[in-house]
Structure 1
């Protein structure tokens, strides 16, 4: 996946974030509590940024929670969503200690949301940049978001939009002019047990 130009976290900042994730996950599996970590040294991590934390066990999804709004600093959001992905994702049982040895994760730091005019589903499909864009759709009743990493399993823009509509509870053939469309990019930081820093 291409590295987005909107954010540049140097290697030291990335190491700090990865260490925070492992610390949070270790505390989470020990006593189901959120680690109250000290603020990191890197100034870039103190900036409010939206992010998602995605957990994988043996390359299979194990949890994914985050936000597309930048209300808290990046490091605080990463800590919160590391815990939530491990313990609060309703699709999965809470993470167990024995799973840590096979666990990997991705921190997806989101760019600002870019609103797109709703000129119909066909126009949206044509506008999407395969492998680059994340997408948020919402109306008064539904909301759904896909990170750019979802392109790994959905190869065409039409598949991407249809699967996102399904995730949000819209019928596959549904489209209305009141659906709001936002796209974004993500800077991804990967962590694995054999790569703790």
Structure 2
């Protein structure tokens, strides 16, 4: 053990050499390769859900979660898993001494935090034997060692996922974690053993429920899938309890946004098959901070949009742009609205956007300015002669949040996106204000935008809300 490992027993690896490589060099190279393939999302995780299968199956999905830890600073990871071996003697076991060994070394346990949990509730105990053969915590540790080498851990096993156990662990963690630089990690796979097609359907429902940030919705979605009688479906999430605890704790620690980072199944691996599948998801819970778009930065982005259009309409190329401003380099979804006239209520000339926050803000502004001018199918391509009389408006989007109750929608604050039956549509927050719509008219306008029938939002539709920082120049 390293000098930082507290006194007490060190839990030895149980699945090294089978579920993941036991050669330190090969293991580090494998993990680093998977991490390098991840496109990070701006925002530091308060909590994660990551899978725990063998690395050849779920490693790339786990990497999508662990890579996000580079966005924050942490000194402890609380890793919560369900038991897969004979049941625990008590509902919850916290390993509270020494450390856990992997081929990459020993990860110390945060004994002080672990003991605080043990003291918080009589249902939380330390049962060392229960942890010895379990893989769901161990499988996460090499990833943690590569992305957060100074992190300690608190390994937790749940032998029950009933509401009483969930509340006990939730309350203990919310009492112990405030003020700590901690990330909470739920170790869980998704559907077990349906066909690939059924797995995608079941897992989509589970992930959509997780996106609502409502643990009750997750319970309901899982119960609905089980009751549907999907062939060979044994469970929708082997870590249902850990997922629910993690959602509660993430919200209590200030997370307000859920992002599904990646989904795959064992059928996506060369070693898997399509008849009996296990699903894997990586999910991040985080706190959204809007970009600090000062007047100066707004003017810089508007000038960039116009100069980009000037160059593109003359040469057919987007000009290069460099900035040292981290706000302008931050990834964000962007819409560009062009109007025929030098005022913000002039007739529309083009409006196109990019909802994914996977481009630097400045680049998204450049690309969407060109798209709005050239690619909007409602209008002919813009000419250089028109540009001088065009008003440019930029909308910088927040992350999208699932809407489960239309009373959550605030006209003038929220934009909306709808998905239903292969159709989708989006309206920016300023649209219902400009049109004089109330909430129901806003929803009907959204249906029309998506090419759907009136009232489409009332049943079978997926609704997402977002906010936007909107600015333009007359």
TM-score bracket, normalised by the shorter chain, equals 0.7 to 0.9
Counterpart CA distance in 2 for 1:43 and 1:173 is: 43
From 5, 12, 24, the equivalent of 2:308 is 24
**Mapping of residues 8-19 of structure 1, within 5 Å:** 8-19=292-303
Asked if the contact 2:339/2:347 (under 8 Å) is kept, the reply is yes
Shift of 1:69: 1.0
Query: Alignment partner of 1:65: what SS?
Result: strand
Asked if the contact 1:16/1:40 (under 8 Å) is kept, the reply is no
Equivalent residue for 1:155?
Answer: 437
Query: Alignment partner of 1:135: what SS?
Result: strand
From 164, 168, 185, the equivalent of 2:446 is 164
From 343, 356, 364, the equivalent of 1:77 is 364
Counterpart CA distance in 2 for 1:159 and 1:139 is: 18
Asked if the contact 1:13/1:42 (under 8 Å) is kept, the reply is no
Query: Alignment partner of 2:456: what SS?
Result: coil
Counterpart CA distance in 2 for 1:97 and 1:107 is: 20
Shift of 1:180: 1.1
Question: 1:106 and 2:393 equivalent?
Answer: yes
Counterpart CA distance in 2 for 1:101 and 1:20 is: 14
Query: Alignment partner of 1:84: what SS?
Result: helix
**How many residue pairs get matched?**
181
Query: Alignment partner of 1:83: what SS?
Result: helix
Counterpart CA distance in 2 for 1:25 and 1:129 is: 34
Shift of 1:37: 1.9
Question: In angstroms, what is the RMSD of aligned CA positions?
Answer: 1.7
Shift of 1:130: 1.4
Asked if the contact 2:328/2:362 (under 8 Å) is kept, the reply is yes
Question: 1:132 and 2:413 equivalent?
Answer: yes
Which of the pair has more CA radius of gyration?
Answer: 2
From 331, 340, 343, the equivalent of 1:57 is 340
Identify unmatched segments of 5+ residues in structure 2: 1-288
Q: Which structure ranks higher in relative contact order (CA pairs < 8 Å, sequence separation ≥ 6)?
A: 1
Q: Deviations over 1:94-141 (max 9, x none)?
A: 112221221101100001111112xxxxx52x3321111100111341
Query: Alignment partner of 1:166: what SS?
Result: helix
Query: Alignment partner of 1:34: what SS?
Result: coil
Equivalent residue for 1:7?
Answer: 291
Identify which range, 12-21 or 60-69, moves more after superposition: 12-21
Query: Alignment partner of 1:44: what SS?
Result: helix
**Mapping of residues 85-100 of structure 1, within 5 Å:** 85-100=372-387
Counterpart CA distance in 1 for 2:438 and 2:410 is: 10
